[in-house]
Amino acid sequence: MRDPAALLKDLVRIDTTNPPGLECRLLSYLADILAEENIAFILQETAPGRGNLLAWQPAADRPEDGTAKPPLILLSHVDVVAARAEQWLYPPFAAEEADGYIYGRGTVDTKQLTVMELEAFLALKEAGIPLKRDVYFLATSDEESGSEWGLKWFLSHEIVVDGRRQTGRGLFTDSDVISEGGGFPIVAGGRKFYLCESGQKSCGTVEFTVKARLAKGPFFGSGDGMARAMGLVRDIGSRRLEGSVLATVERFEKALAGAELTPMMEKILTAMKHNTMTVTMVAGRSVNEVKVMCDVRLLPGFGRDYLESILNDLSRKWDCEYTIVSLGQGYESNPEGELLTILEQATSAALRQTEDAGVGSVPAQVSGAHGMDAPKEDGRARILPFVSMGSSDGHLLTDTGARVYGYSPVLSWDMTFDTAVSMVHGVNERIHRDSVAFGCRVLTEAVRRAAGEEE
């Protein structure tokens, strides 16, 4: 196995800030590694300097009667958001290491997942075991800016794998997918849980336009439009939208019953049960026309028709117009699926290995430098599925029947879910080298169990 920390540093040092992205430089680096291991791959160029990398290892046998096990897809993106160097302790694309922590943009979102999945994929080839399903490694571009040149492009274009021509969307049909969005632990009620993203709320943007009705041209404006716009803002802020308790959330609440949650987790639990619409901006070129922008998050099962019923009510009440600028699709994968059981077993196995190796406790230099006082890893992992408030490429797969799980596990003394959330798109994004190695061990074991022949 390559040194996971060294590999992550190399990826961080390839600046893939989006825009402009220019992810092909990093994808070419990964392609060289795959070529060295004699693993089949294709590198797609979707725009100048941008693209996707797909590698595969085929199943040992592919039954013709339709009973073939669905593919396992290891999905990550390699673009990152911008970082202002003057705000960081270390340059965000230098991958400096201090007290075992690797600082850099992408160390939590989501080049660390690319490393973990690549190491698992390479280890599967090295093991040389017959596979009971096709396994794919897919690294994409442009996730941070809508995925037009990344997964969206991949899904809508043809690929040829082992002589079989199909669209990228066909590749994902009925697949199991390990993606981003989870793997960060929480401690509640004296117990430790590893969060695994098994669903997402849909994300959207709505624009209201409120026009002054009493205005007499540009030189004789009226404030009645602004008054109605402010009423609209207050109405949206005080309105409680309909909600529901998903199977994932029901399981989540049952597992944490009676435990005291952090303020962050309380917010997450509340958000997982309610639809939301939040005003993000009020603007206007003149007093005669005001724009009100809103962020919308809807639970799986609530779609465009539900949103339009709310918007129609608001537009009638405040005499305004609206436009749904964008609206994605939410999804909920099975919170008790087979892959979740495998991830839990693999995480427990890796925790026991970590404990046996004597690195289960917080290293002295880390504790002293960061003021941490985290418990020793106890060799047991409990997977806790949750529905994310954010949006990643998983929502693009809702019509493929894919079961998407976000999981890039780290050690609990390194970071919890609360601290990870603060670093995603934040300042001083970092991960400990032991966590990178730990995540590689977990996914290597999980992929082996999910794809290898039964022992």
Kindly report, residue by residue over 202-213, the tens digit of the pLDDT: 999 999 999 988
Grouping H, G, I as helix, E, B as strand and the rest as coil, residue 279 is: strand
Quick: pLDDT tens for 229-239: 999 999 999 99
Determine the pLDDT at residue 376. Answer: 57
Count, residues in the chain: 455
The CA distance from 268 to 274, in Å, is 10
Predicted pLDDT at 190: 84
pLDDT value for 356:
66
pLDDT at 1: 63
Pairing outcome for strands 50-57 and 276-286: unpaired
CA separation for the pair 217, 207 (Å, rounded) = 24
- DSSP 8-state assignment for residue 144: G
- The three-point CA angle 294-297-302 to 5° equals 120
Residues of the chain with pLDDT under 50: 368-373, 455
Residue 177 confidence (pLDDT):
98
Cis before 263 (ω within 30):
no
- Domains in the chain with CATH codes: 4-197+331-451 (3.40.630.10), 202-327 (3.30.70.360)
The secondary structure element, H or E, covering residue 198 is strand 191-200
pLDDT for residue 369? 47
**pLDDT of 26:** 98
Provide the pLDDT for residue 61: 85
**CA pair distance 161, 174, nearest whole angstrom:** 17
Please state the pTM of the whole predicted model.
0.93
pLDDT value of position 372: 46
Of 347, 352, 358, residue with least CA distance to 444:
347
- b/e burial code for range 129-148 (CB count within 10 A of at least 16 → b): eebbbbbbbbbbbbbbeebe
pLDDT at 368: 46
